[in-house]
Amino acid sequence: MYDTSVKVSGVRVKTVLFVCTGNTCRSPMAAAIMRHALKEYPNLSGNVDVISAGIMAAENAPMSLPSVRALEAMGISDTAHSAQRLSLELVQRADLILALETGHLFWMQSVCPEEKEKMHTLRGFAEGTDADIPDPYGQSDEVYRETAKQIEEMIHKVLMRLDTLWGGAEE
C-alpha cells in the first residue's frame, strides 16, 4: 500500500473516514462533530482530515435538514455537505474508517478485504463493542438530536484514543 497522505509541518496528516448508508445523516454529522471536537485536542488539531461517505449515497445530496438542526442545537455550524459514494480511492486514502453500523463494516470488509485492518464500527473503536448507531432517517428532530449526542459521546472516546495513537507523532 502506498502513502496518500500529505505532511503539514513535518507531521503526516491522518484521514478519518465515517461511513453510513446515504451520507446525509449519520456520517456527515459524525464528521462535523469530529471536526468541531478536534479543537479540544491540540496534538491532533490540524493533523487530522475528516471525511464521510455512504455505501449507497446519491452523489451531491445535501445533509438532511434534521441533521443540520441537530448540529446547530449543539453549536456546530459546519453543516455544508455534499454526499459522496464510498469508493476504493476513499478507502485507500483513509487511515481509519469508522462505520455507523455493523452491516456497513461487513460490506466494506467484503469489498476491500485488503484494507480490513483499518475498518471498525464507531462504537467498536470507541468502546470495544460493535453496537450500531441507529439510523434516524425519516424520524423526528428529537431522534436526530439523540443520534447526534450518541455520536458525540463516541467521537470524544475515539479522539482520546487517537490522541494516544497519533497525537503529534512525526513520521
Q: Specify whether 130 is catalytic.
A: no
Domains of the chain and CATH, by start: 27-138 (3.40.50.2300)
Name the active-site residue from 78, 132, 135, 163: 135
Report, as an integer, the average pLDDT of 38-46. 94
Q: Of these residues, 26, 35, 123, 145, which one is catalytic?
A: 26
Q: Which residue has the cell 473503536?
A: 125
Q: Return d(Cα 104, Cα 71) in angstroms, integer.
A: 23
- Mean local confidence (pLDDT), 146-155: 98
Mean pLDDT value across residues 62-68: 98
| Mean pLDDT along residues 43-55 | 96
Residues in the chain: 171
Query: Is 20 a residue of the active site?
Result: yes
Is pLDDT above 50 for 55?
yes
C-alpha–C-alpha distance, residues 94 and 102, integer Å: 18
Q: Which residue has the cell 455520536?
A: 151
Judge whether 19 and 104 are in contact, CB under 8 Å.
yes
- What pLDDT is stored for residue 9 in this prediction? 44
163 assigned to active site: no
Confidence of residue 167 (pLDDT cuts 50, 70, 90): confident
Q: What's residue 130's pLDDT?
A: 82
Considering only CA atoms, give the Rg of the chain: 15
